[in-house]
Chains A and B, each alone.
Chain A
């Protein structure tokens, strides 16, 4: 049996005293690619923020495996100040600071890693541009490149494809596939259920204040031709799983 990368036991998540989701008990297998699905406002981002340590859990216990202490989190809304005068290269290089330290110079090996991340995200030609010159999709690629450099074993991505075009989405999804192939655990909040069906072997469905981790194939077996609104599907999945 695969060891758990992340274990939640009776987790209660919320903020400002308001409970969004409660009694979350699950174990995410190491190396799993998990789609976090649910309607808007269901508590997906709150749960992800709690796992990322952005919000303290209101109850319960959370354990990460030893390697998963190296965690990367890509929040839904970027707080990037695009008027700040740094180049794309410098922005992406921020991903290595917790390996390099705050004072050491970037050595040749580290620079190679930065170049490789820029290359894999298709930003090599834009490396010297100021970040303010990037489009929304290019900025998201830069955030992915920076995340890549964090070399995290557990990756938490909150709606990473929001507001990006199809080619960018495909390119970013290919990066997630690459991380999965490298054995990294990925939790990705998504609304595109076709993408979930095709590329994610686990679903963490969040609905009605609860969350359930299920193999995607198992969900599909429950309703192979499922289409339609996300909310209806989640309600169906919940009912089917409780039955």
Chain B
């Protein structure tokens, strides 16, 4: 039991725990919808796009939480919209467009950070600094999680309709574009929160991995949302404990724990007999 509780005697571990709980509550449900809307790759691209925006904030105002956050959100929204536009208006498919934006964003971000920093800063930006989050950063992450939960509650019904039958919401006169933009904003906000804790390369991990594990186990959306939050909590707390006891970087340890849950669930469901669906019987 002391293996489980003793690490949290330290203030930096309690801070990391608070950040992981907030991220699990806010980002994991958004990750479920991201997965179901087949936007996991877009989430990855947006998380990389946050880097140059945050780096511009860093160049302009130093290690200012507000400037880096604003820069990150602006760049994330810009790339999400631009990737969608390029996919619609050019011969490129969305995956190719996203890959292009992701590579360009990462390169610009690393260059900008290198202009005014040491390698250690670059590592923090790429892999996060969940063990050294100050009070303001924790408040920001908790604030984003709170806004995200309220935002998702407000968008829930049209979002479900749009995911299950994309054309129906529009045909029935629903606010399809507003829902899409609202969801993109929620995704970007959570990725920025994840960026502060887990870094640009790992931020999307706490959104997509718990959702993917839950999807393998659940047939219902409400249980999938609940299980995704549970997975995120278990994986992120497990990762913090691994990081503490094995003395390895916390961000990658958190994402690795989430990945471990995913692999175990994948193996379990692959070995489980598949239920026979009505459509297969009647086809």
Contacts and interface: CB of A to CB of B under 8 A. Distances in A.
Interface stretch (A28-36, A109-117, A131-139, A231-239): A131-139
B211 to A, nearest CB: 11
B88 to A, nearest CB: 14
A81 B157 contact: no
A129 B277 CA distance: 10
B218 interface: yes
Interface in B155-200: 157-158, 160-161, 163-168, 171-174
B160 A86 contact: yes
A134 B167 CA distance: 20
9 contacts: A80-B164, A85-B224, A90-B160, A91-B164, A126-B278, A133-B279, A134-B278, A134-B279, A137-B282
Contact of A79 (B160, B167, B221, B279): B167
Interface string A54-81: 1000000000000000000101001111
B130 to A, nearest CB: 31
A86 B36 CA distance: 11
A75 B167 contact: yes
Given A52-B171, A85-B224, 19 more contacts: A79-B165, A81-B165, A81-B166, A84-B221, A85-B215, A85-B220, A86-B160, A90-B221, A97-B172, A98-B174, A102-B158, A102-B174, A103-B157, A131-B164, A134-B279, A135-B279, A135-B283, A138-B279, A150-B172
Contacts, number: 80
Interface of A: 52, 54, 73, 75, 78-81, 84-87, 90-91, 94, 97-98, 102-103, 126, 129-138, 146, 150
B154 interface: yes
B282 A135 contact: yes
Contacts of B174: 97-98, 102
B219 interface: yes
Q: Taking each of A86, A90, A131, which has the highest tally of chain B beta carbons within 10 Å of its own beta carbon? A: A86
B173 A98 contact: yes
B220 A87 contact: yes
Given A85-B221, A86-B164, A98-B173, A132 B158 contact: no
B161 A94 contact: yes
Interface in B216-250: 218-221, 224
B164 A94 contact: yes
Given A103-B157, A132-B277, A133-B279, A94 B168 contact: yes
Given A81-B166, A87-B220, A94-B165, A102 B173 contact: no
A103 B36 contact: no
Interface of B: 36, 154, 157-158, 160-161, 163-168, 171-174, 215, 218-221, 224, 277-279, 282-283
B218 A80 contact: no
A86 to B, nearest CB: 5
Contacts of A146: 168
Contacts of B224: 85
B219 A97 contact: no
A133 B173 contact: no
Contacts of A84: 36, 163-164, 221
Contacts of B163: 81, 84
A54 B168 CA distance: 11
A90 to B, nearest CB: 8
A111 to B, nearest CB: 15
Contact of B168 (A79, A126, A133, A134): A79
A102 B178 CA distance: 13
Q: Taking each of A80, A85, A91, A102, which has the highest tally of chain B beta carbons within 10 Å of its own beta carbon? A: A85
Nearest to A152: B172
Contacts of B166: 79, 81
Q: Taking each of B166, B172, B218, B224, which has the highest tally of chain A beta carbons within 10 Å of its own beta carbon? A: B172
Contact of A130 (B160, B167, B219): B219
Contacts of A97: 157-158, 161, 172, 174
Which 3 residue pairs are nearest across A and B when measured between Cβ atoms? Answer: A135-B282, A79-B167, A84-B164
B75 to A, nearest CB: 30
Contact of A132 (B157, B160, B215, B279): B279
B283 A103 contact: no
Q: Taking each of B167, B173, B218, B279, which has the highest tally of chain A beta carbons within 10 Å of its own beta carbon? A: B279
A150 B172 CA distance: 8
A85 B277 CA distance: 14
Contacts of A138: 278-279, 282
Contact of A133 (B161, B164, B220, B277): B277
Contacts of B277: 132-133
A90 B160 CA distance: 10
A54 B172 CA distance: 11
A75 B171 contact: yes
A76 to B, nearest CB: 11
